[in-house]
C-alpha cells in the first residue's frame, strides 16, 4: 500500500492550496484518513481527519480555513487550505488506516509535501 501526497508549494499569506493524497496497492478498505503537519523545530501534529462515512475532525488552529474531504471511490483524501498564514508553513503528511483480512488494521503514511507560506 502506498500513499502519494501532492499539491504543496510556495504561496503568499492569504493564498490557497489544495493538497491531494491517493492510496494505491492491494487492500480491502481504508477507514480514517488524515492530514498531519510538522513545522520547523516542531513535532508532527494532526491537522484534520475524515472517516469513511465522511465525519470530519479539524483542529482549532485551522478551523474555518482548512477543509478535509475524500473521494472514497478513488481512495483519495484532500485538504483545501485557504487564508494561509506563515505559521502554516510545514511539511504536510497524509495517512490512512488500511484493513486487510488476516492482517487487521495498519496505518500507512505518505511521503510528505512541503507547504511554505511567505511573501
Q: What is the pLDDT of residue 47?
A: 98
Q: What is the pLDDT of residue 6?
A: 96
List pLDDT tens digits, range 6-49: 999 999 999 999 999 999 998 899 999 999 999 999 999 999 99
List pLDDT tens digits, range 59-86: 999 999 999 999 988 899 999 999 999 9
- Cell numbers 508532527 correspond to 44
Q: Is 114 exposed, middle or buried (0-12, 13-18, 19+ CB in 10 A)?
A: exposed
List pLDDT tens digits, range 82-101: 999 999 999 999 999 999 99
Q: What is the pLDDT of residue 53?
A: 92
Q: What is the pLDDT of residue 74?
A: 84
Q: What is the pLDDT of residue 73?
A: 84
Amino acid at each position: 500500500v502506498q500513499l502519494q501526497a501532492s499539491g504543496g508549494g510556495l504561496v503568499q499569506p492569504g493564498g490557497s492550496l489544495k493538497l491531494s493524497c491517493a492510496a494505491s496497492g492491494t487492500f480491502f478498505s481504508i477507514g480514517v484518513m488524515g492530514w498531519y503537519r510538522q513545522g520547523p523545530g516542531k513535532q508532527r501534529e494532526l491537522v484534520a481527519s475524515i472517516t469513511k462515512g465522511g465525519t470530519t475532525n479539524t483542529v482549532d488552529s485551522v478551523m474555518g480555513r482548512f477543509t478535509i474531504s475524500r473521494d472514497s471511490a478513488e481512495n483519495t483524501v484532500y485538504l483545501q487550505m485557504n487564508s494561509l498564514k506563515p505559521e502554516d508553513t510545514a511539511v504536510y503528511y497524509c495517512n490512512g488506516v488500511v484493513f486487510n483480512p488476516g492482517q487487521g488494521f495498519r496505518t500507512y503514511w505518505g511521503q510528505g509535501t512541503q507547504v511554505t507560506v511567505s511573501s
